[in-house]
Structures are given as structure tokens and as C-alpha cells.
Structure 1
Amino acid sequence: MSKTVRQHVSLLDVATLVLTAVLSAIAVWIALRGPTGPIPVHFGIDGQPDRWGPRSEVAAVVGLMALISGALAGGFGLAAAKAGDQARRRSHRIGQFVVLATVAIVSLLVVQSSLGIGIWTGAGTAAVPVSISVILVIVGAVLGRVSPNPFVGVRTPWTFKSRLAWDRSNRLGGRLLFWTGLAGLILTPILPTTLSVTLLIVLILVIAALTIFESWRVWRADPDRQPF
């Protein structure tokens, strides 16, 4: 490997390769050696299985996660390596990190829920709101650091016409998502699963609406905004 290539390869690129390979191996194992009887493949909002199917269906989902890891996270890694400025490179790396974290968490949830194998085995239906909450914490922690780009962040017509609108709406969204995820982790053991998931979904929609409004509000007040 040349020095130039090594300079553009990060730990996230290595993690992308590892996660893609591991998920691919798990998908093959499930398809060939997984449970032979019907297994839960779909779950209701309460976390209880409402449809059963063959192991090939679970293998396909895990295989899809491997594809997303390799294609999307790998794509972010390539874009970061080719980025001409540090801000854009950082944004692509943040996108890569979010994809890897989300794919890993969702994959663990799928394997645990369908096969009973994973770090949340024994956690029951609480694994669903816990997974959502962890993803919100991760996304919220990095969202405010994203520079303008077409892939990651609060992307509205107004954020692309005002750097101030981009920065403030993404910071607002990051804070709200982070604290929502943290609250979810705290309240999940207390609240019923159905209520926890419903509240998280409602709050995500509210946060999305607030960040869109914030992007418009800041753009309208920004003297340096670009016109449409």
C-alpha cells in the first residue's frame, strides 16, 4: 500500500470492511445453518412477533445490512478520501460513522429478535426502543459538526442558501436528538414498550419539523443569505 493511499485510509474504512465481512458471514451462516423451523421475522410496535418465516428471510435482511454497510459506508469513505477540503472530508466521515453505527445496531437487533442471539438477549421487547434511543444519541452527538453537503444533515432549500441556517438547524437537531435518545434510554425500563416506541417516533417527527422551521427562520433573518 502506497503512502498516499495510507494517508486516506482511516479506521472507519477498516471498520467498514470488517462489519461488511462479518455481516456477510452471519448471513451465510443463517442461510445454511440457522434454525430450520419457522422463526419470527416481523414484529409489532410492542416488540412482539406478528409474523413467522423461514431462516432465508432473516439471512436476506442481514445480507441487506452487509450490502448497505459496504455500499453506503464504503461510498462515504471513498468520498472522504477524494474530498478537497477538510470540512467536506469530516462530513463524509461523520456520515460513514453514522451508517456503520446504525447498521451494526439494527443488525444486532435483527439477530437478537429473530434468533435470540445478541447483546440484548434477555432484554425482551425493550431492545426496540433501546436501539432507537442509542441511534438517536449517536446521530445527535455528531449532527452539529456536519458541514454543508448533499448527504448528511438537515437538508432543506434554506440550509443550502444560508450557511448560518445550516449550522443552527443542524445544531438544534443534534441537541434535540441527543437528549431525546438519552431520555429514551432512561425511560425505557419504566414505560411500556408500545408507549416508548410511540413517543420516540412522535418526538423524531416533532424534531424534524422544528429543524425545518428553524432553517427557514434563520435563512429569512440572515443578511448573507442567497436568494432563490
Structure 2
Amino acid sequence: MLERFGTRIQIALIAAMALAGAWVFLQLPEGSQVPVHFNAQGEADGWAAAGLGLFMLPVLALGLLALQWVLPQLDPRGDNLRKSGKALATIWLAITLLLALVQAQVVAMSLGLSGPAPRLPMLLMGGLFVFMGNVLGKLRSNYTVGIRTPWTLDNERVWDQTHRFAGKVFVVAGLLLVALSMSPLPPQWQAGAICGTALAAAAVSVLKSYWLWRRQRGGT
């Protein structure tokens, strides 16, 4: 039920992204360019032709939607992916929502309705981490989504314990990024803060998976 609802919301978001892009495309003069990349200050520093820049994110979101249907067929543990439907639906929806919010910023800046948004990247990534962290513990063992180390893939109990732990780590990491987005942190430090927080959360989760695996095997 939740999976179907999440898919409908994704389709609605993708349609809204595409329609907004088409509407802006018709408003702009021929040969116009739109922002497609932003620096640490939230200023546009990369541009593309309107036909590409306004539809790149909707196409990416559509590809993500197609990938959801293909992955269970390709993954050797596809049945576990199907059993993780609710958790995966939350993750896919969170990523699609992030893409939709970035598309909204591109549309607004293309029309001159919005200026730089230096806090937006950190806030969006923090929110994504919180969403993902809340459902990581519900993922079943698979080869495509989650903390896929040799140790979690070797032992389902290690997978479950690692993902419950990693879920808490990523929620904390997300809340930290949200808090930093509201702090006087200099904009030029934000990219480093996002990357550092993500890498630290991933590294701690990977190390935890190895420690749990060693413990399962009676190691020290």
C-alpha cells in the first residue's frame, strides 16, 4: 500500500517538475541559458541551454523511478528488495523530493524570482539523511541498496545489526547538518561539512559492520 502511494507521489512530483520546466522554457527567449550548478554560496556557477537545464532533473527522477522496477529483477537477492518495499519507497520518495526542490530553485532563478540560497544544499542533505536513517534498519540484505560490505553480505544478522546502527548514525548526521544550516557557518565551509559528515557516517557504519562480523565469528 505504502509502496503504491509513494510511487504515485513520485509520479506527481516528476510531472510537476516537467510541467514547470516546460512552462519556464516557453517564457524564456530563444537561446537562453539556465543555472544547473551552484557554488558553496548558493550562487549559480554553471549554466546550460534551457532545453537541457530545465528537463535534466525531471529526466533523472524518471530514470530513478524506472530503476526501482528494474532492480529487483537484477539483484541476486531481489526477493529481499521486494520485502523491503516500504523502506525503499521512503528512500526513493525522499530522493525524488530533493530533486524536485532543486528543480524549483532552478526554475525560480531562471525567472529571476530567487537569488542565491546558501543554506539550501546543507538543509536538503540533512533532511535526506534523516529520512534515510529512519528506514535503513528495515532494509533486507541485498546487493544494491544499503551498507553493502563483505561482512554485511556474508551474514544477515550482521546486516540487520549494522543497518539499525547506521540508521541512528545517519539520523544524527542529518540533524547535525540541519543545525549547521541554521548556524553562522561560513558558506564556503558548507561543502566540506556535508562531505565530511557523510563520509564520517559511512565510515563509522562500515567499521561497525566489520566489528559485528568479527564478533559473530568469535574474533576480538
2:44 paired with 1:49: yes
Q: Tell me if structure 2 keeps the 8 A contact 1:140–1:174.
A: yes
Residue 56 of structure 1 and its aligned partner are, at CA, apart by 1.5
TM-score by length of 2: 0.80
TM alignment of 1:79-98, pairs within 5 A:
88-98=81-91
Aligned to 1:205: 199
SS at match of 2:201: helix
The range that moved more, 156-165 or 59-68, is: 59-68
TM alignment of 1:114-125, pairs within 5 A:
115-116=108-109, 124-125=117-118
Residue 98 of structure 1 and its aligned partner are, at CA, apart by 0.9
Residue 112 of structure 1 and its aligned partner are, at CA, apart by 0.8
Aligned to 2:123: 130
2:163 paired with 1:187: no
SS at match of 1:152: coil
Q: What is the one-letter code of the residue matched to 1:72?
A: L
Q: What is the one-letter code of the residue matched to 2:90?
A: F
Q: 1:111 pairs with 87, 104, 109, which one?
A: 104
Residue 185 of structure 1 and its aligned partner are, at CA, apart by 1.1
Residue 77 of structure 1 and its aligned partner are, at CA, apart by 8.9
Aligned to 1:3: none
Q: Tell me if structure 2 keeps the 8 A contact 1:169–1:211.
A: yes
Aligned to 1:160: 153
Q: What is the one-letter code of the residue matched to 1:99?
A: W
Structure 1, unmatched stretches of 5+, are 1-6
Q: CA RMSD in A?
A: 3.0
Percent of aligned pairs sharing the same letter: 23
Residue 184 of structure 1 and its aligned partner are, at CA, apart by 1.3
Q: What is the one-letter code of the residue matched to 1:147?
A: R
Q: 1:149 to 1:157 in 2, by over 3 A?
A: same
Q: 1:9 to 1:204 in 2, by over 3 A?
A: closer
Q: What is the one-letter code of the residue matched to 1:26?
A: A
CA deviations over 1:148-186 (Å, ceiling 9, x no partner): 122221111110111222122212221111111112112
Structure 2, unmatched stretches of 5+, are none
Residue 137 of structure 1 and its aligned partner are, at CA, apart by 0.8
2:210 paired with 1:216: yes
Separation of aligned partners in 1, 2:3 and 2:122? 34
Q: What is the one-letter code of the residue matched to 2:206?
A: I
Residue 122 of structure 1 and its aligned partner are, at CA, apart by 6.7
TM-score by length of 1: 0.78
TM alignment of 1:8-87, pairs within 5 A:
10-30=4-24, 32-36=25-29, 37-75=32-70
Separation of aligned partners in 2, 1:180 and 1:163? 25
Q: What is the one-letter code of the residue matched to 2:39?
A: G
SS at match of 1:10: helix
Q: 1:142 to 1:8 in 2, by over 3 A?
A: closer
The range that moved more, 168-177 or 192-201, is: 192-201
Separation of aligned partners in 2, 1:149 and 1:101? 20
The number of residues matched between the two structures is 210
Q: 1:185 to 1:71 in 2, by over 3 A?
A: same
